[in-house]
Amino acid sequence: MQRGLASARDAASPATPAAAGGYAPRRGVTARRHRRATSSEQRGPAVIASTPTGPVNVVSIATAVPPTSLPQDEVRDLFAGQPGLGRLGRRLVGTVFDASAIDRRHTVIDELDGEPRDASIFVDAATRTVLRPSTGTRNAVYTRAVRPLLTDAAEQAIADAPGLDRGDVSHVITVSCTGFFAPGPDHLLVRDLGLAPSTRRLHIGFMGCYGAFPALRAAVSTCLAEPDAVVLVVCVELCTLHLRSSDDPDTIVASSVFADGAAAAVVTARPAPAGAAVLEVLALETVLTDEGEADMAWTIGDVGFEMVLSSYVPRILEAGIATALRPLADRLPALGADGWPQVGQFAVHPGGRAILDRVQHALDLSDEQLAPSRAVLRGFGNMSSATVLFILARILHGADAAPAGPELVAAMAFGPGLTVESALLRRVTS
């Protein structure tokens, strides 16, 4: 297998940007995944998140986005028209943006909407030149702008949680990789929501697009240890703060897909009221691959955080995703499913269109199974850690909610490492 993967990459044509889909896998991508699957197979029962009072459930998910909404073609034209961009760079911007499968994105940078401003930080109002503010300046905007999204999503998730209110919240877990400050987002939530000063807090920072999964794992572990716990999980990302103009293909890809948003989930093992729809958490898995450390990375530069997104990532995932998901796949027969085609819906983190295409092909998924993921990519872009919760919100509450009866749901996200995080859920009505 390793030799086959190596020759596939060696035979690949020159790499093209991630959104355009020209990729090849790397040597050794499946070896550690196979060992990880073996150890996970030895772990035992198919349903792991269960307490004496019942399963651990995600009982509500709410989302929030900034008011500034950007049509993708307008953002394309802005970046294609930047001074200093070479002919190839302009062509690349057009190709990558047009292939992104994104209609619009939201941003906290209202300067991007083209309206005149008295003062400019990110875009010169007169020339429409994308400026290069320092990392400190960008982070100062993060500190101010993150608060309303954080609290809006959290308040709505609590309001939507059947039979619960903010007085029931015992734990807060926040996730973000697009800015830093202390006291941090976890502290803001306790203060702004009027939660008890004794509320236990955890902040998960700088893990990238898969950050929601470690947060859910921590929430589930808390509920297993304390069956009466109610855990509020909030992911908030302001990715557009770090956009910049460049001829670099990785930077162009980042400019074409990243967006801002927040999502909150309430997790508890308390029994849900009759008639309430919930997502039972059946299993959570993580796999660190042998390859990919240099292919996907998130670092701090002098003029913002810098994304490394190699054009090989989608094919690395395509070659290894089935093996990476084997720990979950091995649980399916006990749940009445013969394989991934038998799972009702998928929440696949849309790092880009090519990633969704490759995962769909590798797992032999139907268009219907991947419809929620593509809908979120189309309407919101890639909001890093918050994105998979946007997809799960559609499946639990919204347009893609099952009309009746239990439905299996598989969720997954990918990030620096190269890391594959995944979950097996079941949508049920109590």
pLDDT at 33 over 80: no
**Least trusted range by pLDDT, from 32-36, 152-156, 285-289, 405-409:** 32-36
Provide the pLDDT confidence category of residue 125 given band limits of 50, 70 and 90: confident
H/E element, 90: helix 87-98
Q: Pick from 16, 21, 417: which is nearest to 250 by CA?
A: 16
pLDDT at 74 over 90: yes
Q: What pLDDT score does 180 carry?
A: 96
Q: Is 283 strand, coil or helix?
A: strand
Provide the pLDDT confidence category of residue 222 given band limits of 50, 70 and 90: very high
pLDDT digits (tens, 9 = 90+) for 325-360: 999 999 999 888 888 988 999 999 999 999 999 999
| 51 Cβ contact list (under 8 Å, min separation 6) | 223, 224, 227, 269
Provide the pLDDT confidence category of residue 116 given band limits of 50, 70 and 90: confident
Q: What pLDDT score does 31 carry?
A: 34
Whether 413 and 421 have beta carbons less than 8 Å apart is answered as yes
The overall longest dimension of the chain from CA atoms, in Å, is: 64
pLDDT at 26 over 70: no
Q: What pLDDT score does 378 carry?
A: 98
Residue 107, number of CB atoms within 10 A of its CB: 27
Catalytic residue among 177, 209, 223, 235: 209
Q: How far is CA 154 from CA 61, 166, 192, 235, 400, in A?
A: 9, 10, 10, 10, 22
Residue 275, number of CB atoms within 10 A of its CB: 8
pLDDT digits (tens, 9 = 90+) for 288-331: 887 777 788 888 999 999 887 777 788 888 888 998 999 999 99
Q: What pLDDT score does 301 carry?
A: 92
Whether 193 and 167 have beta carbons less than 8 Å apart is answered as no
pLDDT at 420 over 70: yes
* 209 classed as catalytic: yes
Average pLDDT, the chain: 87
Distance CA 98, CA 92 (A): 10
Distance CA 415, CA 408 (A): 24
Whether 60 and 266 have beta carbons less than 8 Å apart is answered as yes
